[in-house]
Amino acid sequence: MPKKKTKIEDNEYVEPEPFKMVVDTKLEGDKVIATENSEHVYEPGYYGKQLGDRLELALIEALLLLKRGRIKVFSGKKQVDFEELYAHAGKLDPRFAERFRVYEDLRERGLLVRTGFKFGCDFRVYERGVQLKKGPKSSKEHTKWIVFSISEDYACSFQELSRSVRLAHNIRARMLWAIVDNEGDVTYYQITRHKP
């Protein structure tokens, strides 16, 4: 059956957007959990971590999905709005404002972004078009960048900078410092290691 087209201007047609289900989720501490229809959250952009019959979203992922109208978040029977969830996340993580702004910016650029806790960074970022899978991966399917999110007022030591560059080098990724200025704009700096 052909897809129905919608007229938007004279002689110009576009395909209507597919139906996007809004999924109910539950706030549990520093996670947001989806138990029903979680595939409508995970698959379109690899949000969260599928654990059996439940999908666990980091607060940063849940906030972006909530902002985009893809999920509803409940604490008990009370629905939590964006501002309440943002405030909750900010209480748990003093760097949350910078981290969320960088996460949102990377996702707006169409990049696949995963949390980077196990690597000691804020985010792991993959090239556009990468499909996550288990098992052996091609070089394109590996993490391309590891990202550290900081405010423009942040000061770091050379040792901290060196550790982050070594970490990126060890996993064959590039290291980016994402600096969020006071207006909320994000600038990325790539730091590389050169041997004389």
Give the model confidence (pLDDT) of 12-57 as tens digits.
544 444 557 899 999 999 999 999 988 888 877 889 998 988 999 9
CATH architecture assignment, domain 14-93: 3-Layer(aba) Sandwich (3.40)
Kind plus residue range of the DSSP H or E element containing 13: strand 12-14
Report pLDDT for 138.
56
- Residues 90, 63: contact at Cβ < 8 Å? no
DSSP state of 140: G
pLDDT digits (tens, 9 = 90+) for 116-153: 887 788 999 988 766 665 555 555 567 889 899 999 98
Which residues have CB under 8 Å from 193's CB, separation 6+? Answer: 165, 166, 169
- The whole-angstrom separation of Cα 48 and Cα 118 is 15
**Domain parsing of the chain, residue ranges:** 14-93, 95-196
Task: Provide the whole-model pTM.
Answer: 0.81
Per CATH, 14-93 and 95-196 having the same topology is answered no
Q: 3-class SS at 91?
A: helix
For the domain made up of 95-196, the CATH class stated in words is alpha beta
